[in-house]
A and B are shown apart, each in its own frame.
Chain A
Amino acid sequence: MKLRMLYFASLRERVGVSEEMLDVPGSIVSVAQLRRWLAERGTGWAEAFAERTVRAAVDQTMVNDDHALIDGAEVAFFPPVTGG
C-alpha cells in the first residue's frame, strides 16, 4: 500500500523528514499499526512515536488510532496544535 506521508513541527525535527512516499506492508491497515511500524525505523522515529500525544490526520482530517488506511492516502503525524 502506497501512502503520502507528512510530518510536522517537533515530530518533523525528530524524524528528520518532512514529506515522503512510503510503500508499507499489506499487514498495516490502521493508523495505530502504521505508528508502530514507523517507530521501528530508527532511534529518532522510536522517540518521536513514543510520545502518546502524537496526533494523526488522514486526507487532511484528524483521525483516531483505529482509523483504516487505504492505498494512496495522505497521512500526517504531528504534535498537539498550538495556533491562535
Chain B
Amino acid sequence: MTVRVQCEDFDVGVEIAQLRVGNSKIGAVASFVGIVRDINEGTTVGSITLEHYPGMTEKSLAAIAEQARARWSLSGVLIVHRIGTLEPTDQIVLVVTTSSHRGDAFSACQFVMDYLKTDAPFWKKEVTAKGERWVDARDSDSNAKERWK
C-alpha cells in the first residue's frame, strides 16, 4: 500500500509497472486518473490551486486504502494526489488497485475514489476570468460514498 502527495506529475504506466513488479498472482489492475477540466459550473477555468492539510492528508488516504484492503482481496493499492497549481488537462489524482480477479480491483478502485472525495482534506481554488473562487463540495460526492455503507 502506497500513498503519495506531490507537486510533480505522475506516469501511469510507470506507477502500474512498479505496483506489479515481482507479483505473479496479480490477474487484474484497475486504475482511475482524475484530470483538471477547463470548465466547472458553466465557467471557464484557467487554473486550479490545491491546498491540503499536511499530515492528516496522508493519514486519511492511508486509512481509506486500509479500509479497501479489509473489504476486498487486494494485492496492492496506490494513491497519488497532486497539490499546488494545475492547469486544464493536467492529471490530478491516480488510484490503482491490483487483485487476482477484476471484480475486487474494480470495486476497490471506485471505493477509494468515493471516500477520497469526501474524507481527504484537499481544497480546490479555481482561477476564472471573474477572479478566484473556492470550489464547493457536491452532494453527489456524499451520495457516492453512501452506497458503500
Contacts and interface: CB of A to CB of B under 8 A. Distances in A.
Interface of A: 6, 8-10, 53, 57, 60-62, 76, 78-84
Given A8-B51, A57-B53, A60-B53, A83 B124 contact: yes
Interface in B23-70: 34, 50-53, 55-56, 59-60
14 contacts: A8-B53, A8-B121, A53-B137, A60-B53, A60-B55, A62-B60, A76-B121, A82-B123, A82-B135, A83-B50, A83-B81, A83-B93, A83-B120, A83-B124
Contacts of A76: 53, 56, 121
Given A9-B123, A60-B53, A82 B116 contact: no
Nearest to A76: B53
Question: Main secondary structure on chain B at its contact with chain A?
Answer: mixed
Contact of B134 (A6, A79, A84): A79
A83 B56 contact: no
Contact of B56 (A10, A57, A80): A57
Contacts of A60: 53, 55-56, 59-60
Contact of B137 (A6, A57, A61, A80): A80
